[in-house]
Amino acid sequence: MPGPADERRVDPIARLIQAFSRLPGIGEKSATRLAFFVLRQGSEYARNLAEALLEATERVGFCERCMNLTDGSLCTLCLDARRDGRTICVVETVQDLRAIQKSNEYRGQFHVLHGTLAPLEGIGPDELKMKELLTRLQAPDAEVEELIIATNPSVEGEATALYLKKMLAPMGYRVTRIASGLPIGGDFEYADPATISQALAGRREM
């Protein structure tokens, strides 16, 4: 007869489905499909997947300059001497950075905030990478002239953009806002390169 330990034993398939369902945008049906896909691939595939996940979480951290994700002290964009150091494009997430980079329209530098202001959720300036931006601007070798605020055109994104303008404009920088080539409530991550290119080209003074 099964003992108490057997009764408490968690079904490994159910546990795998539950793990996948915690991913953003993945419901129970999608999680189930992913779980059975992994099971069909066998133990070697699962081991490689687990090792890749562990390596990414253990080795990847913040770029010391722009807060991008990287496995070194500086990311590849910050190490690229060809990029224009006179402009910094401020974005919410690394996904937004990558989306803008794909447009091939922008040749300056980036800064990732890792979120937006959301007071009701307890997210203020201290929870974002704003201090790091100020430190970067005050560096002796800084040559920044313009900051492009490229937060998403959402309520939180607009509030963050206004906060940044009030913080940066008195310091003498040109502060521009990315044009509304993106739909209100949309995300950079899902926009096509042509739309992002048009939005960057039509940025305006704040």
Instruction: Please check whether residues 82 and 44 belong to one and the same domain.
Output: no
> Does residue 64 belong to any structural domain of this protein?
no
Quote the pLDDT of residue 190.
79
Total structural domains within the chain: 2
Model pTM score: 0.74
> Does residue 135 belong to any structural domain of this protein?
yes
User: Shortest CA distance to 39 belongs to which of 64, 21, 12, 57?
Assistant: 12
> Does residue 70 belong to any structural domain of this protein?
no
Q: Which domain holds residue 125?
A: 75-205
> Does residue 65 belong to any structural domain of this protein?
no
Instruction: Please check whether residues 100 and 162 belong to one and the same domain.
Output: yes
CA distance 206 to 202: 13
Domain CATH for 122: 3.40.1360.10
Instruction: Please check whether residues 42 and 87 belong to one and the same domain.
Output: no
CB-based contact 101:201 (threshold 8 Å): no
Quote the pLDDT of residue 123.
93
How many Cβ atoms sit within 10 Å of the Cβ of residue 206? 16
- Write out pLDDT tens, residues 40-94: 999 999 999 999 999 988 889 999 999 999 998 999 999 999 999 999 999 999 9
Instruction: Please check whether residues 169 and 96 belong to one and the same domain.
Output: yes
- Write out pLDDT tens, residues 3-47: 555 545 678 999 999 999 999 889 999 999 999 999 999 999 999
Instruction: Please check whether residues 43 and 82 belong to one and the same domain.
Output: no
Quote the pLDDT of residue 5.
53
Is residue 192 over pLDDT 80?
A: no
